[in-house]
Amino acid sequence: MTEHAHSAAGHWIDGKVVPAGTAETITVLNPADGGVVAEVPAGTPADVDRAVAAARAALPGWAATVPAERAAVVRRIGDGLRARTEEIAAAVTAEMGAPLTLSRTAQVGFPIAVVESFAGLATEYDWTEEVGNSLIVREPIGVVGAITPWNFPLQQIVSKLAPALIAGNTMVFKPSEVAPLTARILAEVTAEAGLPAGVFNVVYGTGEVVGEAIAAHPDIDMISFTGSTRAGRRIAAVAAATVKRVALELGGKGANLILDDADLPTAVETGLRMVFINGGQVCGAWPRMLVPAARQEEVVQLALAAAAQYTVGDPGDEATRIGPMASEAHREKVNGYIERGIADGATLVLGGPGRPEGLEKGAYVRPTIFADVDPDSVIAQEEIFGPVLTIIPYADEDEAVEIANSTMYGLTSGVFGEPEHALAVAKRLRAGQVDVNGGHWNPLAPFGGYKQSGNGREFGRHGLEEFLETKAIQR
C-alpha cells in the first residue's frame, strides 16, 4: 500500500488496528484537485466476520454497565472530538471538499452537540416502567451494523454511535469509501475515552461487498443506514432474510414553502442557504422554493442577490463558501441534472452546466438557480444533491401544499409566513421535520422521514429508542 498522511493500514477491530484480509485497497481522492489523499483497505466478508465476532464478545460486558457509566464514556468521546477539531476538519475537507470553515463548525461541531445531547439524556430516560402488573424493561438490541454516506462523514456515524452506546449496544461500522478518514480518528477517540475493546469496530470497503455482508450477517441484530433511497431499498431487502431491525435515513427533496405573508428577504435568504450549504450535498436541504406566482420575479431578484455571497473555490480557503462536489462522478451527476433542467424548459437565472470560470480542474459545479420550474419535472422530483435551487410558482395555498407533498420523499421542509399561519401549513406537510420561519436545529428533536425518505428516527429520546428492545415482564 502506498503511504499517505491519512492512510489506514488496516481495519479497527477489537480495539486495535487489524491487518486487512486482502492486499486490495481503495484510493481516496481530493475532489478539489484529484490528488490522492489516502488509501484504505478494501474489506471482505471475512473482515466483517472478525468485526462481528469482536462486537458479539464485547456485548455482555458493555450491556451490563449502568447508563450513567455509559454516558460518562460517551461524554469523553465528545471531549476527544473537540480536542481534535482541526485534524478532523482538515480530513473532511481533504476527502469530500467541504469548505474548511464549514468543516469546523458543522462537520465537527454538530457531532459534538449530538454526543452531549445523548450523554445528558441517559440519566433522564425511563429505562423501566410499570404498566398494571407488568414491568416494561428497555434493553440493548445487540450488535448494530452502521453504514453511512460521505456528505457528513463524522456527523452521520456519531448520530448512530452515541445512542447505540448509551443503549448498551456494540457496533460494526462501514464508512463511505469516498470519505473514510474520520472513521479512524473516531475509533482512536473512543479508545482514549475508555470504551472497551470490541464495542466499536470499523471495517472499510464498498457497499456492494462490506455493506451487504453487514446487512446479511446473522449475528448483527440491527442495521442503521443513512444514504440514498436506492441503496436503502437494497439494504432492507438483504437484511430481510434475517428479519433484523432496519432503520433507514434516506433521500430528500425538501420544499421551502413561502407564503404570501412571509418576510420575503428572510425566507429567500434562509432558503438559499439551505440549498447551497455543503454544496447542496445535504439530505435535509430545501431545493424546491415554492413561491406565490405573482411574486416570483421578486423572489428571483432576492435569490440572485443572496447567491452573490456564495464564493466557489478552494475548500481550504477560509473565504470559500462552496467547495467541489465530493467526487468527479457526483459532479457529472449534478451537471447532468442542470442540463436536464434546461432541456425541459426551466428558466435558467444563474449558473448552468460546466465548471465555474477559473476552476477548470476539480469536481466543481456552478451554483445554479432555475425559475418557472414545472413541479412534475425531473429537477423538481429527483434528488440532485448539489447547489441547484428550483423556484416553483403556485396559484394558491392548497396548490402549494399539494406541490410540497408531491414527491416520493418526505424528509424535511420549511414554511415561512405569519407564525400561526405558517404553523397551520406546516402541519399539512408530509415530512418528518418542518422548520417554521427558520426554526433552529434541536438535537433533542426526532429527525427522520415519511414515505421513501426512510423509517425510524435519529436524535433525542426517539433516536435512543431505535436502539432498544422492549421486554414485558408479567408479575
Extents of the domains making up the chain: 10-250+453-474, 255-442
Cα–Cα distance for residue pair 299/35, rounded to 1 Å: 40
Q: Is the pLDDT of residue 440 over 50?
A: yes
pLDDT at 7: 61
Q: What percent of the chain has pLDDT over 90?
A: 97
Phi, psi of 174 (to 5 degrees): -115, 110
pLDDT of 392-419, one tens digit each?
999 999 999 999 999 999 999 999 999 9
Q: Residue 283 catalytic?
A: yes
Q: Which residues of 260-293 are buried (b: 16+ CB within 10 A; e: fewer)?
A: eebebeebbbbbbbbbbbbbbbbbbbbbbbbbbe
Give the SS3 label for residue 254. coil
Question: Of these residues, 39, 177, 212, 283, which one is catalytic?
Answer: 283
Return the CATH class of domain 10-250+453-474: alpha beta
pLDDT of 308-336, one tens digit each?
999 999 999 999 999 999 999 999 999 99
Cα–Cα distance for residue pair 32/35, rounded to 1 Å: 8
- What contacts 11, CB < 8 A, 6 or more positions away? 17, 18, 20, 41, 43, 47, 50, 51, 201, 202, 203, 204
With cell 424535511, the residue in question is 412
Average pLDDT, the chain: 96
Cα–Cα distance for residue pair 405/412, rounded to 1 Å: 11
pLDDT of 23-77, one tens digit each?
899 999 999 999 999 999 999 999 999 999 999 999 999 999 999 999 999 999 9
The conformation of residue 322, written as its DSSP 8-state character, comes to B
Q: Is 255-442 assigned to CATH 3.40.50.261? A: no
Cα–Cα distance for residue pair 123/348, rounded to 1 Å: 53
Per-residue confidence at 3, pLDDT binned at 50, 70, 90?
very low
With cell 444563474, the residue in question is 350
Question: Of these residues, 39, 95, 249, 458, which one is catalytic?
Answer: 249
Q: Residue 249 catalytic?
A: yes
pLDDT at 22: 87
- How do beta strands 412-416 and 255-258 pair? parallel
Give the SS3 label for residue 25. strand
pLDDT of 133-182, one tens digit each?
999 999 999 999 999 999 999 999 999 999 999 999 999 999 999 999 99
pLDDT at 146: 98
Q: Is the pLDDT of residue 4 over 80?
A: no
